[in-house]
Structure 1
């Protein structure tokens, strides 16, 4: 990987860590928000749905705009806008203000994924780039519940948001400096593909791509449903009395330990996804998440943490493999749109999981949430089997990308 691309991969990786950090502050401090506003799991889940739906909703126009205006401009906008949104959340005093702030945060964060993936897909070693950026994102995903939970337990839940906001503003400055060297809109090495598409591709929504988007939508549903309530669930079912930790810090710590395993999965997914038949590997990884989800719903203490870590490992292993597969199903000129549609469905439609799982937790139990998500995973497996069969019948030229 050339030095210019290496620097951009590092900055995109840090930005990836931050975007997941922002989106996981709320689940980490959910217990404290419940106490302050005196609301139940359903309304808490509804707040999560608002944030996550905005996270997916903005990805759709972001994907189209990245093909037209340049990915780097939108990534810079994400860094600045999300930082300001986090500051607004910290100043909220009513449930409505909190909901609006979380929605705005989700909307700005939605710009990141389709733009960064479209940019990375044109790199010479895109599998490696996907893996590195994904792994750095997972570090943020794993550490943010721990950091947010720790800050919240010391100074209240509002203190978590401005801490992340400061990091975002520093990253925005660094990306602006980097962008001025290359052209913040996408000038330089990738100008043709990001700003002036070589050709229009109005028929890019092939049956295989639609099927892949459906699988990723179900994966997003499972992930968002699990991560919204995982810190609270771990805090109540993992006993660590000897350490003298409160449930908020226990939940954040255990969620971080579980999710840090995903760093390994992300890197391996980027490495193996380009070296093997991606649709076959994708099917295996989706299938492997099923037993771990079932185990999360039925276990406690060390077995529960191990099961959550196993789920995170296979889920994040599958992510770069799916992104590589999507790149092979779209032309260079339509790749931003492809990733935008994918993330709209996986995060936007998948955001319904937060309120659905909140209702399940309120009416049945927190354990039942993970059993329901296991059923969703079964449907993913069925669709992945169909996708693999469809791809095996396709000409080799289409399997390699157009």
Structure 2
């Protein structure tokens, strides 16, 4: 069935927003490589600075949801797009690490409101939610891959400050598009007597629902997602810098005319592109494999992959194994995401679903950003081996919690009646 006009308008608006959130997000590690060379600052301190930017991305999810209820979802998405664009313009003017910190924090605060506002808009305004959620996810994956690809390509020809300004342009265009877009943000719930602007949770309701959530299996899922976020953020933030330092890549002889290309950046982009296939495969498997079982298996794989980076990135390692390992990592790193998203749906009641996803983004993007500071310390003060052992440890922690869900099948009954017989 074709989407109606209102669904198409909301789809276009939210797809642009979702793509741009990740467009900006995944370009930052590419800039980190340049900043480390540009400014006389160690990787440990720069790790703290980047963590300060990524942390609000998750920490602001709950406040973002409350603001969306109060001021409207379209308005919040527009503020998000404008704020992210402004933050990259601030970065383009940076002459010190302090200005970079301001720009990154501004980006994190602005980006944090997108997911609760954008997903709420789809859930209340779209009739064919399944189709629009699918396209919304595809747009996000496109932004994940295109952000670092465009940044890395432009850095061949332009100064990093100008590249940061150029990356802000699509955000400005999206704001102008959004201002002209017309749609009914409550079309899908227009006949619901309980829907309306006065339905936002009071503080006492929020605290009460939170206590109920964390007295259930969701408490285990929340910590599990935090470990996944620590793995995801730490690995993706520092992998470009690690790849740049490998002799097999930095010493690669390029044909005449291509000397300015950084192969490490394109290997990283390739990892993200493969991740799109992993996310699709993971999404299809969630209908066949129960969430706890799938999460346990995928965390084992991710722990093994992190440890494999130790011998593969050792001095004298070949280019082929590095490329293959990055591709495999990209597939499984994104394949796990549909499983934890499905776990939230299975282990929480429908009337607490919005709140539970708000806490999920807090765990993934907020608490998960702590690994940027920890990873920077490991790389700056200890060694690359220590960094990968730390990352593997996050996967082990997540796997143990998935095992708790598996072992506690009697206590942790699915909240939505989903099949969980052998969990």
> In the TM superposition, what is the alpha-carbon distance from 1:135 to its structure 2 partner?
3.5
The answer to whether the 8 Å contact 1:232/1:248 transfers is no
The answer to whether the 8 Å contact 2:224/2:401 transfers is yes
Bigger shift: 6-15 or 347-356? 6-15
Inter-CA distance 257–273: structure 2 relative to 1 (3 Å threshold) = same
The answer to whether the 8 Å contact 1:130/1:320 transfers is no
> In the TM superposition, what is the alpha-carbon distance from 1:361 to its structure 2 partner?
0.5
Matches of 2:132 and 2:380, distance apart in 1: 41
Bigger shift: 188-197 or 43-52? 188-197
Are 1:289 and 2:289 an aligned pair? no
**Equivalent of 1:241 in 238, 253, 256:** 253
Q: CA RMSD in A?
A: 2.9
Matches of 1:345 and 1:397, distance apart in 2: 20
The answer to whether the 8 Å contact 1:289/1:314 transfers is yes
Q: For residue 102 of structure 2, what is the aligned residue in structure 1?
A: 100
The answer to whether the 8 Å contact 1:120/1:129 transfers is yes
> In the TM superposition, what is the alpha-carbon distance from 1:107 to its structure 2 partner?
0.9
Matches of 1:319 and 1:85, distance apart in 2: 28
Q: For residue 136 of structure 1, what is the aligned residue in structure 2?
A: 139
- Bigger helix fraction: 1
**Equivalent of 2:286 in 269, 273, 284:** 273
> In the TM superposition, what is the alpha-carbon distance from 1:337 to its structure 2 partner?
2.5
- What is the total number of aligned residue pairs between the two structures? 397
> In the TM superposition, what is the alpha-carbon distance from 1:359 to its structure 2 partner?
0.9
Secondary structure of the structure 2 residue equivalent to 1:242:
coil
Matches of 1:103 and 1:234, distance apart in 2: 26
> In the TM superposition, what is the alpha-carbon distance from 1:233 to its structure 2 partner?
1.2
> In the TM superposition, what is the alpha-carbon distance from 1:283 to its structure 2 partner?
2.8
Structure label with greater radius of gyration? 2
**Equivalent of 2:76 in 57, 74, 77:** 74
Q: Structure 2: state its 5+ residue gaps.
A: none
> In the TM superposition, what is the alpha-carbon distance from 1:172 to its structure 2 partner?
2.6
Matches of 1:88 and 1:102, distance apart in 2: 9
Are 1:337 and 2:355 an aligned pair? yes
Inter-CA distance 195–243: structure 2 relative to 1 (3 Å threshold) = farther
Matches of 1:304 and 1:193, distance apart in 2: 52
Q: Structure 1: state its 5+ residue gaps.
A: none
Matches of 2:73 and 2:309, distance apart in 1: 38
Deviations 1:272-318 (CA, angstroms, capped at 9, x unpaired): 32455333323332332222222223214221222222222112112
TM-score w.r.t. length of structure 2: 0.83
Inter-CA distance 126–283: structure 2 relative to 1 (3 Å threshold) = farther
